[in-house]
């Protein structure tokens, strides 16, 4: 058995394309146009063959420019805008600069950014959510320090900051059940391929209500909000609109928004109809963004450890950047995991009569 290192010729044979195509795709040649299918085949083949580009050659092509790329899905939600600001504060304190790349949850836009990153001598990249193009990012991480904030259920061979979204759902559901709620609504943005986190939170809620014989109603906005069609405040309006539908069932007394922004929409709808939050119904969210602390909102939610995640992500990234012997330690992978924490405020209370 041989330990021969995979080459671009090996990738070409596996993917059924030419060696020049493999080279251009792996190097992010923006002047060449390839179909999404071809690009995907090349990176999947590279991953399966455990391809590792020449680190020495890549490092000497251009000197890193003390600039860190921050990739996020949107700045519309205060969760991401606060996280980006936290990351920027940490990075600029080290006398590095940042560039923010907003994908608007568009896989094609993310791919365009990845191609740009291959041409630009960045010192590092932080993804504030799991990237769509996992194989591409994993291969890039062999040449440039990368940190990813992800759900614990998704594995990548890169440094990661993780939280268990399923456990988050369990905590929220247990809280509502302990308060006596027997019929719960879970209101969410799309549960498709865009976000594992949304589905995992629902899995945690579903598992818990099944164990206690509690009814769960799922209200999903199935219209994806991505790219050029991206609409501001769509998460709030998802909560507001779907709460209107949920209210048609008067036995629903517990409401869970897939995040705090959705929960705000739920609360606004209920309050506009004279429903008393905490007395008649309870409302929960996820993320614990800053407005959730406001007295008039006082939302029960799950802490997202924004400040801690930002600090730990930058520390993890700069550990890679500052390694004295990069050639030797470049393939080390580090993970930091947080245990979800329930923050109980006045938006939840004992089950009352609707």
**Is residue 347 in a domain?**
no
Looking at residue 123, which CATH number applies to its domain? 3.40.50.2300
User: Is 57 a member of any domain?
Assistant: no
My answer on whether 154 and 268 are in the same domain is: no
Residue 345 lies in a domain: no
Are 175 and 227 members of one domain?
yes
* Average pLDDT, integer, range 92-107: 95
Same domain, 20 and 136: no
Kindly report the CATH number assigned to the domain that includes residue 23: 1.10.260
- Counting the structural domains of the chain, the total is 3
Residues 88, 143, single domain; the answer is yes
The tens digit of pLDDT for each residue in 136-145 reads 898 888 788 9
Separation of CA 42 from chain center:
25
Q: Which residues constitute the domain of residue 243? A: 165-304
Residues 252 and 148 in one domain: no
Q: Say whether pLDDT at 44 is over 60.
A: yes
pTM above 0.75, yes or no: yes
Q: How confident is the model at residue 22 (pLDDT cuts 50, 70, 90)?
A: low
Whether 183 and 300 share a structural domain: yes
Do 282 and 321 lie in a common domain?
A: no
């Amino acid at each position: 058995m041989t330990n021969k290192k995979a080459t671009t010729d090996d990738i070409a044979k596996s993917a059924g394309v030419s060696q020049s195509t493999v080279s251009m795709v792996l190097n992010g040649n923006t002047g060449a146009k390839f179909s999404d299918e071809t690009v995907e085949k090349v990176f999947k083949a590279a991953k399966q063959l455990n391809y590792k580009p020449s680190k020495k050659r890549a490092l000497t092509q251009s000197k890193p420019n003390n600039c860190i790329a921050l990739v996020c899905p949107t700045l519309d939600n205060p969760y991401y805008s606060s996280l980006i600001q936290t990351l920027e504060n940490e990075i600029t304190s080290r006398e590095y600069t940042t560039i923010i790349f907003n994908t608007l949850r568009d896989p094609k836009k993310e791919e365009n950014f990845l191609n740009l990153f291959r041409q630009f001598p960045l010192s590092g990249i932080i993804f504030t959510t799991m990237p769509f193009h996992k194989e591409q990012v994993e291969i890039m991480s062999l040449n440039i320090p990368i940190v990813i904030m992800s759900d614990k259920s998704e594995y990548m061979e890169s440094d990661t900051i993780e939280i268990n979204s399923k456990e988050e759902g369990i905590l929220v559901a247990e809280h509502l059940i302990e308060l006596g709620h027997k019929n719960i609504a879970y209101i969410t943005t799309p549960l498709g391929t865009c976000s594992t986190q949304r589905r995992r939170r629902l899995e945690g809620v579903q598992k818990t209500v099944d164990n206690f014989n509690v009814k769960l109603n799922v209200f999903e906005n199935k219209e994806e909000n991505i790219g050029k069609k991206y609409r501001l405040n769509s998460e709030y309006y998802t909560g507001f609109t779907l709460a209107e539908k949920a209210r048609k069932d008067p036995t629903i007394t517990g409401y869970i928004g897939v995040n705090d922004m959705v929960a705000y929409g739920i609360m606004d709808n209920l309050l506009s109809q004279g429903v008393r939050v905490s007395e008649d119904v309870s409302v929960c969210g996820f993320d614990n963004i800053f407005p959730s602390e406001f007295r008039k909102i006082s939302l029960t939610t799950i802490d997202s450890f924004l400040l801690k995640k930002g600090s730990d992500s930058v520390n993890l990234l700069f550990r890679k950047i500052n390694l004295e012997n990069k050639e030797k330690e470049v393939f080390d992978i580090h993970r930091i995991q947080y245990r979800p924490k329930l923050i109980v405020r006045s938006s939840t209370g004992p089950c009352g009569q609707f």
